Structure 1
Amino acid sequence: MSSIKVINTIRLCSKGVLAKDANGKYVKLHKRQGDMDGACSVYSLAMALLCLGVVTEDDLNIYNKPDRRTQKGKFLSHFLEEQGLVRNGYYFSTLAKEINEQDFGIIATRKCRQDTNDIIDIIADTLDEEMPVIISTDFPDGGHAMLAVGYETNNEEDAITKILCLDPSEEAPNFSSWNCIIDVAHKYSKSEYPFDNITKSQSYKVALGDILIIEKRK
């Protein structure tokens, strides 16, 4: 028998997957990137900020200009305006550095992939603290970033079998809290790409890369 854990900062209803924004209003969480935009990590960051309740839906509206007189406005302007079209992706090391250089009360902790089992456990431990995790996957043609919002375990072995994610390159889910599953049941495989990345539109082999933990500065 399997069990599913989803962070309690999001909820699923007839309107889709929602998170409570900085105004205390439940808003749609999923953000989808454009076909030419490689900034999947920035889209994942935007969803993480909504989960943390530190930005509003209007803050992320493309037609609203951030108020650069505020720390939040400077933060949003940097990531949503100054970077422009990020075609080749955003390295987690760069993203973490730039987040931590901003004075917005948000801190990013990058965990490097050294051992697959360790990184899976760190993802699960962070989700157990009701915080989403920005994760990266590697595949033969490149890499991708998504927001992990839950996981599945096998109760008999207490082993994590799947990581449940919101993928910014896919359609928003309307009947589950995720639109992507990373099947990590074969974590002991010696294959370079041991896991199955499964979405509505495709399925392909991946390896887990680095992760970013985004949290409020204490």
Structure 2
Amino acid sequence: MSSIKIINSIKLDSKGVRVKDANGKYILLHKRQGDMDGACAVYSLAMAMLCIGVITNEDLQVYANPDRRTCKGKFLSHFLEEQGLVRRGYSFISMAREIRESSFNLDAIRKNPKEDDDIINAIADFIDKESPVIISTDFKEGAHALLAVGYEITDDSDKITKILCLDPGEEAPKYSCWNCIIDVSHKNEKSEYPYVCITRTQAYRVTLGDILMIKKAE
């Protein structure tokens, strides 16, 4: 038998995967590349901020004009206007530093464990604390950022078998809280890319990289 853990802020109903935004209104969570202009890490950051209820859906609209006189406006302008398109990928080191240095009431914790098991366990630990996790994956053709919102675990051995994610490069999920699975149940020790990333449109081998947890500052 297997069990699934999903962060509590997410709600799945007939309208899709939704969370309460900063106004207490239930809105669709998934943001797909093309909905806003920007790189996958910025989309994942936007979904993480929706999950923890610090921004509204209106804040993310294409023609929204952030009020740079406010802390939130400065933050959104930096990430959605100045840093929206990052051709070579967004460094999690830079993103974490910029989040912590902003005057918007957010904190970022970046981890880069050397061992795969430590990365997987760190992702699960954050999810157990009801925190979505921005994760990076590398594959033969490049790299990609996703938002981890849950995991699957076997009841008999407590082994984490799958990381459940929202992929900004894929369509919004209709009948689950995720649209992407990273299968970590079997590790190919002979491959540079030991795990399999599975979406509706493709399956490809990946390795896990940096992870970034976003939370309200204490």
TM-score range, shorter chain: over 0.9
1:186 Cα deviation after fit:
1.6
CA contact (8 A) 2:182 2:195 kept: yes
CA distance in 2, matches of 1:85, 1:122: 28
CA contact (8 A) 1:113 1:208 kept: no
CA contact (8 A) 2:149 2:164 kept: yes
Further displaced range: 81-90 or 202-211: 81-90
The corresponding residue for 2:106 is: 106
TM (norm. structure 2) is 0.96
Q: Which amino acid letter does the alignment assign opposite residue 145 of structure 2?
A: A
Unaligned runs of 5+ in 1: none
The corresponding residue for 1:67 is: 67
The corresponding residue for 2:95 is: 95
TM (norm. structure 1) is 0.96
CA distance in 1, matches of 2:8, 2:138: 28
1:98 Cα deviation after fit:
1.1
The corresponding residue for 2:43 is: 43
1:123 Cα deviation after fit:
0.4
1:40 Cα deviation after fit:
0.4
The corresponding residue for 1:161 is: 161
1:38 Cα deviation after fit:
6.4
CA distance in 2, matches of 1:138, 1:93: 16
Q: Residues 47-84 of structure 1, C-alpha deviation per residue, up to 9 Å, x if partnerless?
A: 00000000001111111100111000000000011124
Question: How many residues matched?
Answer: 217
The corresponding residue for 1:143 is: 143
CA contact (8 A) 2:134 2:212 kept: yes
CA distance in 1, matches of 2:77, 2:41: 16
Counterparts in 2 of 1:23 and 1:38: CA distance versus 1, 3 Å = closer
Q: Which amino acid letter does the alignment assign opposite residue 214 of structure 1?
A: I
Cα RMSD for the two superposed structures: 1.4
1:190 Cα deviation after fit:
4.4
CA contact (8 A) 1:164 1:178 kept: yes
Runs of 4+ displaced beyond 6 Å: none
CA contact (8 A) 2:38 2:84 kept: no
Q: What secondary structure sits across from 1:98 in the alignment?
A: helix
The residue correspondences of 1:167-178 to structure 2 (distance < 5 A) are: 167-178=167-178
Q: What secondary structure sits across from 1:119 in the alignment?
A: helix
1:113 Cα deviation after fit:
3.1
Counterparts in 2 of 1:125 and 1:188: CA distance versus 1, 3 Å = farther
1:100 Cα deviation after fit:
1.2
Unaligned runs of 5+ in 2: none
1:85 Cα deviation after fit:
2.4
The corresponding residue for 1:22 is: 22
CA distance in 1, matches of 2:156, 2:63: 50
CA distance in 1, matches of 2:86, 2:34: 11
Q: What secondary structure sits across from 1:122 in the alignment?
A: helix
